[in-house]
Amino acid sequence: MFQQVGDGRARGRTDAAGGAGDENSFLGHGLPDNIEYVGKYIVTRRFDYVKKNIVIPCARWRNLGAMRVSDLKETAAGKEKPLKYVLLAGIYNEPRSGYELTKWLQMVGQHCWSVEHSSVYPALRELEKDELIQSERLPGTRGPDRSIYSMTAAGLDKLRAWVANGSPRPAIKDEQILRVLCFDLLPRDTALQQIREVRADHQVQLEFFLARQAMLTERQLGPLLVARRGVLAEQAYIAWCDEVADMIARRPA
Amino acid sequence: MFQQVGDGRARGRTDAAGGAGDENSFLGHGLPDNIEYVGKYIVTRRFDYVKKNIVIPCARWRNLGAMRVSDLKETAAGKEKPLKYVLLAGIYNEPRSGYELTKWLQMVGQHCWSVEHSSVYPALRELEKDELIQSERLPGTRGPDRSIYSMTAAGLDKLRAWVANGSPRPAIKDEQILRVLCFDLLPRDTALQQIREVRADHQVQLEFFLARQAMLTERQLGPLLVARRGVLAEQAYIAWCDEVADMIARRPA
DNA sequence: TTCACCATGTAAGGGGTTACATGATTGC
DNA sequence: GCAATCATGTAACCCCTTACATGGTGAA
């Protein structure tokens, strides 16, 4: 019940602290409350090994190391990769084909989770294999037939559990901000023109989200709020572009 | 000069259209203007193979296929992975160690390019090997010595060329927006509490960027504008959270 | 003495993109 | 008939995260 790590370097204790009576004690220390996924016992030697799903407060365990954090992984049960939940969310709002999900993510989902079609189709097949979604073959309005996916009861439960959880912070990769960081490397006019082009691109995005917002009512609260996020995010980006342009324009060179 | 693809399925022409006189013609068609990186000749059979760096307008080339788009890759010369430019940008603004760059990206660069330290150190070594940066060993103020990296002339040129280019659109992964999309799966109070927690987290971020903005002047225009982006982005996120909370609160269930 | 932080590294693996592939249908 | 879009798929590979690793310093 207490697995020894087989790398020959383990120097810690390997005896079990187990037994029914001391389920909450480990080598004399009480287990901290904020441990979320615990199989039976925890030993780790570094605070920074332990993030996000499993939190252990500090190096109190430092010299006890024999078991690895990764041994706990299996206890974080039923965790799917994020894309699967993204697809479940898309299907929940409206039964969709793989093609439609891809388009939806690339248009509407621009600002939350954009992926290529080559990731979507395999993920859908896995979801169907796990019976979280089901498919129906329908003739295409134009073009070939497509498989329309819809939720199952199990899928709905899974999605609900995911929605109830907290999110990690948004992960953003935006090279443009870093280019602006180095704008003093460029002649003023080059910089100005670049930021104008960026602004124009976000203006197009903004208009898309505004149009989408206008199509929706409070009856479709979820999609409306997602569109609102698009509007607010693009407006903020455009406002920033304007500030950048102003500041650059006032610059001497 | 016109490479035949060796998969046995190539059915196209393999004769060169080359020669000094017809540099801009190919099999009777003029090359479109919007091709950015062209080695010598292009044949492709799908529009959607061709993205971002190389743009070919349509299936006009469809039945000419013999060469693959990937054969063009080497012509997009000197392209490094984005992280390297990110690090160059960080070092350009101020000589920094790997540890400092990691911290900088995780704090200041939250909203543009956050990475773990295990990606940073190898990338720095590659940059140094290519002589785009140089390092100096300095005693740590507290803790062990560290390698402080600074730009070389070659690195500065490389960075300037990158800054002058356009950026791809920001890539964002934000699960929270998709959770909101499905908020009607949750009891109203659960949803409200979740969005309040998210708001609080972004409030903390906002205050960080406000403090940083207050530290900077127009003398350090780049860093100031990056901080401004943080402020505007977080304000927009908080405004969205408030709208979400309002809408959810007015909801019946 | 413990805790938190400083500072740097390697190995494995995951999740995603890119390139490659096919072929039907509608619109100009 | 060319162009664009609909619709789905596979294989290779890349970048980054996660986990694992070491060890010094300063504050309570």
Nearest nt to the CA of A140 via C1' is D6
Nearest nt to the CA of B84 via C1' is D15
Q: For B179-230, what is each residue's pLDDT tens digit?
A: 999 999 999 999 999 999 999 999 999 999 999 999 999 999 999 999 999 9
Q: Quick check: A141 CB within 7 A of strand D?
A: yes
d(CA A223, CA A175): 28
d(CA B39, CA B59): 20
To the nearest whole Å, the CA of B124 is away from the closest chain A CA by 17
Summary mean pLDDT of chain A? 76
pLDDT at residue A215 in the model: 93
Residue contact B172–A112, C-beta within 8 A:
yes
Phi/psi at B123 (5° precision)? -65, -40
Contacts of A247 (CB under 8 A, 6+ apart): B218, B221, B224, B225
Edge-to-edge strand ranges of the sheet holding B96-97: B96-97, B146-151, B133-138
pLDDT at residue A19 in the model: 28
Q: Is residue B18 over pLDDT 90?
A: no
CA-based nearest residue to A209, from A222, A225, A228, A223:
A228
Q: Is residue A34 over pLDDT 60?
A: no
Q: Is the dihedral of CA A168, B102, B234, B162 positive or negative?
A: negative
The more confidently predicted of residues B220 and B40 is: B220
Over residues A58-81, mean pLDDT: 48
pLDDT at residue B78 in the model: 62
Phi/psi at B88 (5° precision)? -60, -45
Sketch the domain layout of chain B as residue ranges.
1-71+172-253, 77-164
Q: Is the dihedral of CA B111, B115, B120, B123 positive or negative?
A: negative
Helix orientation angle between B221-250 and A221-250, rounded to the nearest 10 degrees? 160
Residues 147-186 of A with CB under 7 A from strand D: 147
Residue A37's alpha-carbon distances to A12, A45, A73, B118, B164, in angstroms, are 22, 17, 8, 25, 48
Mutate to test the interface with B, among A108, A110, A118, A172 (most CBs of B within 10 A): A172
The more confidently predicted of residues A73 and A117 is: A117
Residues from chain A contacting residue B89 (CB–CB below 8 Å): 178-179, 181-182
pLDDT > 90: percent of chain A? 62
Q: For B104-162, what is each residue's pLDDT tens digit?
A: 999 999 999 999 999 999 999 999 999 999 999 887 677 678 899 999 999 999 999 99
Residues 200-219 of B with CB under 8 A from A: 201, 218
Q: Report DSSP state, residue A133.
A: E
Question: Binning pLDDT at 50, 70 and 90, where does residue A24 land?
Answer: very low
Q: Rg of the Cα trace of chain A?
A: 25
pLDDT at residue A253 in the model: 65
Nucleotides of D under 7 A from a protein CB: 2-12, 14-26
d(CA B35, CA B32): 6
pLDDT at residue A38 in the model: 37
The more confidently predicted of residues A155 and A166 is: A155
Question: Binning pLDDT at 50, 70 and 90, where does residue A78 land?
Answer: low
Task: Count CB-CB contacts under 10 A for residue A71.
Answer: 17
Q: Is residue B101 over pLDDT 80?
A: yes
Q: Is residue A91 over pLDDT 80?
A: yes
Torsion of CA B206, B209, B213, B214, to 10 degrees: 70
Residue contact A251–B176, C-beta within 8 A:
no
pLDDT at residue A64 in the model: 33
Over residues A116-145, mean pLDDT: 89
Q: Which residues of A130-152 are buried (b: 16+ CB within 10 A; e: fewer)?
A: eebbbbeeeeeeeeeebbbbebb
pLDDT at residue A241 in the model: 98
- Taking the Cβ of residue B153 and every Cβ of chain A, the question of whether any pair is shorter than 8 Å is answered with no
d(CA A223, CA A213): 8
pLDDT at residue A58 in the model: 33
Contact B129, B87 (CB under 8 A): no
Q: Which range, A168-182, B40-54, B143-157, is most confident?
A: A168-182
Contact A226, A213 (CB under 8 A): no
pLDDT > 70: percent of chain A? 67
User: CA B120, B169, B217: angle at the middle one, nearest 5?
Assistant: 65
What residue in A sits closest to B183 (Cα-Cα)? Answer: A222
pLDDT > 90: percent of chain B? 62
Query: How many interface pairs between A and B have CB atoms less than 8 angstroms apart?
Result: 213
Residue contact B240–A221, C-beta within 8 A:
no
Q: Is residue A3 over pLDDT 80?
A: no
Q: Is residue B27 over pLDDT 70?
A: no
Residue contact B184–A222, C-beta within 8 A:
yes
Over residues A239-253, mean pLDDT: 92
To the nearest whole Å, the CA of B14 is away from the closest chain A CA by 31
Q: For A5-22, what is each residue's pLDDT tens digit?
A: 222 222 222 222 222 222
Measure B62 CA to C23 C1' (Å): 13
Summary mean pLDDT of chain B? 76
**B31 backbone φψ class: left, alpha, beta (φ>0; ψ -120 to 50):** beta
- Taking the Cβ of residue B35 and every Cβ of chain A, the question of whether any pair is shorter than 8 Å is answered with no
Q: Quick check: B51 CB within 7 A of strand D?
A: no
Residues from chain B contacting residue A174 (CB–CB below 8 Å): 111-113, 167, 170-171
What residue in B sits closest to A228 (Cα-Cα)? Answer: B240
To the nearest whole Å, the CA of A239 is away from the closest chain B CA by 8
Question: Binning pLDDT at 50, 70 and 90, where does residue A104 land?
Answer: very high
Q: Are strands A96-97 and A146-151 parallel, antiparallel or unpaired?
A: antiparallel
Question: Binning pLDDT at 50, 70 and 90, where does residue A79 land?
Answer: confident
Residue type, B41: Y
- Taking the Cβ of residue A93 and every Cβ of chain B, the question of whether any pair is shorter than 8 Å is answered with yes
Q: Is residue B170 over pLDDT 90?
A: yes
Q: Which of A100-104, B54-58, B153-157 has the lowest mean pLDDT?
A: B54-58
Residue contact A185–B163, C-beta within 8 A:
yes
Residues 204-243 of A with CB under 7 A from strand D: none
CATH of B77-164, one of 3.20.20.140, 3.30.465.10, 1.20.1630.10, 1.10.10.10: 1.10.10.10
The more confidently predicted of residues B49 and A215 is: A215
- Taking the Cβ of residue B192 and every Cβ of chain A, the question of whether any pair is shorter than 8 Å is answered with no
Residue contact B172–A228, C-beta within 8 A:
no
Over residues B11-24, mean pLDDT: 28
To the nearest whole Å, the CA of A221 is away from the closest chain B CA by 8
To the nearest whole Å, the CA of B221 is away from the closest chain A CA by 8
- Taking the Cβ of residue B247 and every Cβ of chain A, the question of whether any pair is shorter than 8 Å is answered with yes
Q: For B28-39, what is each residue's pLDDT tens digit?
A: 333 333 344 333
pLDDT at residue B100 in the model: 95
